[in-house]
């Protein structure tokens, strides 16, 4: 989904055209609840007038006020994405990983799409999607850690990201997956440690990751590795017919 930033100057034609395939981001300071509600209602009115559709928007670091405003405007929460964090370094893992190369493209897409067949953003990735992410200024193939099986096939990965726009910089476990045929062997834990080891190697002292709130196995593993819940990003939706 593309992202549309909605502000007081967003015209109704733009809002109406956004139905079904846009994520809305409110360009509104956190404390201005009335203004946020007004924009949400305007988006619903514009899309409803054009025959309906689905509006989805996210609130970073959601709180009770975000729920109150969204519910008052006719939207309901449907997805929570937790931000977890921990200090670096972590304990050393046991898996040897290497940087991503162009020869890993097919293997990565295969493992990623089978492991994330349930995920609305990470699943169904195409070669063009991969190219788009690799073109981002933060992309570093050395931080895209690949684990090979004994037969040389790609068994899993831990894709890391460095947020250099904050001071001090923060490392992120951006995406991590194990070949579904190899689940239950503790490989995910070791890949996480490999990613954290790489971030610590860069001199970073704090790491974060984002995980679905209802992904119980992953959250249990991250707690065991010392991650703590820091914030909740919440998605709301309204369906207009």
Q: Which residues of 27-91 form beta strands (DSSP E)?
A: 53-59, 76-87
Helix (H, G, I), strand (E, B) or coil at 216: helix
Nearest to 150 by CA among 187, 203, 123: 187
**Enclosing domain of residue 178:** 89-204
User: Other CB atoms closer than 10 Å to residue 144's CB: what's the count?
Assistant: 25
Q: CA–CA separation, 181 vs 159, rounded Å?
A: 20
The tally of domains found in the chain comes to 2
Helix (H, G, I), strand (E, B) or coil at 238: strand
User: Which pLDDT belongs to residue 2?
Assistant: 43
Predicted TM-score (pTM) of this structure: 0.84
Judgement on whether residues 108 and 139 belong to the same structural domain of the protein? yes
List the CATH number of the domain containing 96: 3.40.630.30
Structure tokens that stand for 200 in this block:
């610590």
Task: Provide the β-strand partners of residue 150.
Answer: none
Judgement on whether residues 127 and 177 belong to the same structural domain of the protein? yes
More confident residue, 178 or 47: 178
Judgement on whether residues 109 and 200 belong to the same structural domain of the protein? yes
Judgement on whether residues 105 and 19 belong to the same structural domain of the protein? no
List the CATH number of the domain containing 62: 3.40.630
Least confident of 15-29, 91-105, 134-148, 197-211: 15-29
Residue 97 backbone zone (phi > 0: left; psi -120 to 50: alpha; other: beta): beta
Q: What is the pLDDT of residues 120-152, one digit of tens each?
A: 889 999 999 999 999 999 999 999 999 999 999
Residue where the block lists tokens 């017919």: 241
Residue 29 scores a pLDDT above 60: no
* Percent above pLDDT 70 for the chain: 78
Helix (H, G, I), strand (E, B) or coil at 26: strand
């Amino acid at each position: 989904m593309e992202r549309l930033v909605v502000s007081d100057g967003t015209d109704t034609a733009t809002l109406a055209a956004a139905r079904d395939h846009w994520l809305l981001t409110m360009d509104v300071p956190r404390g201005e609840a009335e203004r946020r509600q007004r924009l949400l209602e305007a988006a619903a009115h514009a899309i409803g007038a054009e025959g309906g559709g689905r509006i989805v928007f996210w609130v970073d670091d959601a709180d009770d006020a975000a729920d109150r405003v969204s519910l008052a405007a006719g939207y309901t929460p449907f997805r929570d994405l937790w931000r977890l964090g921990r200090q670096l370094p972590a304990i050393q893992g046991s898996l040897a990983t290497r940087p991503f190369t162009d020869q890993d493209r097919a293997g990565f897409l295969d493992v990623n799409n089978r492991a994330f067949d349930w995920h609305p953003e990470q699943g169904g990735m195409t070669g063009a999607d991969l190219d788009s992410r690799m073109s981002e200024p933060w992309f570093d193939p050395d931080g895209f850690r690949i684990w090979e099986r004994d037969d040389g096939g790609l068994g899993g990965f831990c894709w890391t990201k460095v947020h250099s726009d904050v001071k001090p910089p923060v490392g992120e476990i951006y995406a991590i997956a194990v070949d579904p045929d190899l689940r239950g062997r503790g490989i995910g834990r070791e890949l996480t440690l490999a990613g954290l080891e790489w971030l610590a190697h860069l001199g970073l002292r704090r790491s974060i990751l984002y995980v679905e709130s209802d992904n119980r196995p992953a959250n249990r593993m991250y707690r065991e590795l010392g991650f703590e819940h820091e914030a909740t990003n919440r998605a709301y939706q309204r369906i207009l017919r």
